[in-house]
Amino acid sequence: MSDKRHIAILGSTGSIGTQTLDVIRQHPDRFEVELLTANTSAALLIAQAREFSPNAVVIRDEKCYREVADALADTDVKVFCGMDSICSLVAADGVDIVVAAMVGFSGLRPTLAAIRAGKTIALANKETLVAAGSLVTALAAEHRVAILPVDSEHSAIFQCLMAAGPNRPVKLHLTASGGPFRTWPRERIATATKAEALKHPNWDMGAKITIDSATMMNKGFEVIEAKWLFSVDVGQINVLVHPESVIHSMIEFADGAVLAQLGCPDMRVPIEVAISYPERLPLDGPRLDLAAAGALTFDRADTDRFPCLGLAFEAIRRGGNVPCAMNAANEAAVKAYLRDRIGFYDIAALVGEAMSDVHYIERPGLDDIFDTNRETYDRLAARLGL
């Protein structure tokens, strides 16, 4: 890389966003921050804008606009608000790479805008591929846009594929920590509190993805994400519970050989791999000490105690707009769970119901996807008083 890469970060105040800025902070000669966007975290967005001097920032919530604009009035940073601003700024000439790290379905629109503008996508927002995988990958192919995974498992597979050269794997092994309830019996999981569900053993992440990890819906999303990113059948994807989170995922070849990618659980590595591809840059941080780690253990995933994982396999097998409905129902149900409105297994029950109730569309267009998302989410939100 000779020139600096100009980065837009959608969701810069979240877990992935702040860690992306940490990678950039370590390599100011390689990266330039072009655009930062946040939902409502005005104070952190202001601090980030002051440190990284982007061309522009967008605060999505209009109520926060004045606060951000006033605080940055003495700088050259342009301040905007709203989703439409995000979608137009992400397509601006100055942007090379878009780190899509918004939470949930809301990441879809700006990611589509970035793809249409030919930007390289570093994708952390897995819901984009869950809800609209066929459309997003087709659009990326049409615009010759690379979608580079930021999710640790998919980055691991991507790194293994780089090592594989022209050889295609016959199977992908996605590892899963198993979340905080890995060893709990079903009866105990049923009464799990929000605080217990939010205690992830290995990864420090945002609230939504942490609950998705506890239900293993996150792993289900990752199965769908892997299918689209690597153009494999869902039958070629195996979920393997690996509580130590040392092996981040593996690929298996037709001759039986398996390649794995290992490391400490540090999201800055997959972020760095994505934004510096095809190079690798030095990063500070913990180093893997396998002697200290001792034994690595593995187990099959249990879809009886974690029904959301089974629902995700069902959703992608049925295809069409079913994964979109699943994602929308999960978004509403997780929000209700975080507000103590429903119990832990109600999340899976509500998702399963929404998948049965959805008006099935075999080949949905983008409008169908937005309609399915809104209808499913709104119906559930009304019922749950969100």
Query: Based on CB atoms, which residue is closest to Mg ion, 210 or 372?
Result: 210
- Please, which residue, 243 or 364, has the CB nearer to Mg ion? 243
Pairing of strands 237-241, 171-176: parallel
CB of 155 to Mg ion, least distance (A): 9
Using the rule CB under 5 A, give the single segment among 86-94, 145-153, 302-310, 345-353 that binds Mg ion: 145-153
**Partner residues linked to 239 by β-bridges:** 174
Question: Smallest gap, in angstroms, from Cβ of residue 154 to Mg ion?
Answer: 7
Using CB atoms, what's the residue nearest to Mg ion?
Answer: 151
Q: How far apart are CB 220 and Mg ion at their closest, in Å?
A: 11
Q: Is 238 exposed, middle or buried (0-12, 13-18, 19+ CB in 10 A)?
A: middle
Q: What is the total count of residues that contact Mg ion (CB under 5 A)?
A: 3
CB 46 to Mg ion: min, Å: 30
Q: Which stretch binds Mg ion (CB under 5 A): 21-29, 143-151, 281-289, 317-325?
A: 143-151
- Stretch touching Mg ion by CB under 5 A, among 89-97, 148-156, 163-171, 349-357: 148-156
H or E segment to which residue 162 belongs? helix 152-164
Contact assessment for residue 240 and residue 301, using Cβ atoms and an 8 Å cutoff: yes
Cβ 153 to Mg ion shortest distance, Å? 5
- Residue number with CB closer to Mg ion (59 or 217): 217
- Closer residue to Mg ion (CB): 86 or 309: 309
Q: Cβ of residue 152: shortest distance to Mg ion, in angstroms? A: 5
Query: Closest distance between Mg ion and the C-beta of residue 61, in Å?
Result: 27
Residue carrying structure tokens 């540090």 = 266
Residues 27-46 that bind Mg ion (CB under 5 A): none
Q: Which of 54/220 has CB closer to Mg ion?
A: 220
Pair of tokens at residue 333: 């149900």
User: How many other C-beta atoms are found inside a 10 Å radius of the C-beta of residue 257?
Assistant: 11
Identity of the residue, 32 or 153, whose beta carbon is nearer to Mg ion in the bound complex: 153
Comparison of 179 and 364: residue with beta carbon closer to Mg ion: 179
Spatial separation of the C-alpha atoms in residues 303 and 301, rounded to whole Å: 6
Region near Mg ion per CB under 5 A, out of 132-140, 150-158, 165-173, 274-282: 150-158
40 class by beta-carbon count within 10 Å (0-12 exposed, 13-18 middle, 19+ buried): exposed
- Part in contact with Mg ion (CB under 5 A); list of ranges 129-137, 151-159, 163-171, 373-381: 151-159
Which residue, 6 or 208, is less far from Mg ion as judged by CB?
208
Q: State which residue, 71 or 157, has the beta carbon closest to Mg ion.
A: 157
Q: How far is the CB of 135 from Mg ion (least distance, A)?
A: 22
Peptide bond into 278 cis (omega under 30): yes
- Strands annotated E in the chain: 5-10, 31-38, 56-59, 78-81, 97-100, 120-123, 147-149, 171-176, 237-241, 247-252, 258-262, 299-300
Shortest distance, CB of residue 163 to Mg ion, whole angstroms? Answer: 20
Owner of token pair 């994982």: 309
Stretch that binds Mg ion, among 20-28, 51-59, 153-161, 364-372 (CB under 5 A): 153-161
Question: Token digits for 313?
Answer: 């396999």
Only one of the segments 17-25, 152-160, 228-236, 275-283 lies at the binding site for Mg ion (rule: CB under 5 A); that segment is 152-160
Mark out the alpha helices in 202-280 (DSSP H runs): 207-215, 217-230, 268-276
DSSP 76: S
151 binds Mg ion (CB under 5 A): yes
CA 343 remoteness from chain centre:
24
Candidates 29, 351, 48, 92; CA nearest to 215 is 351
Residues engaged in binding Mg ion (CB under 5 A): 151-153
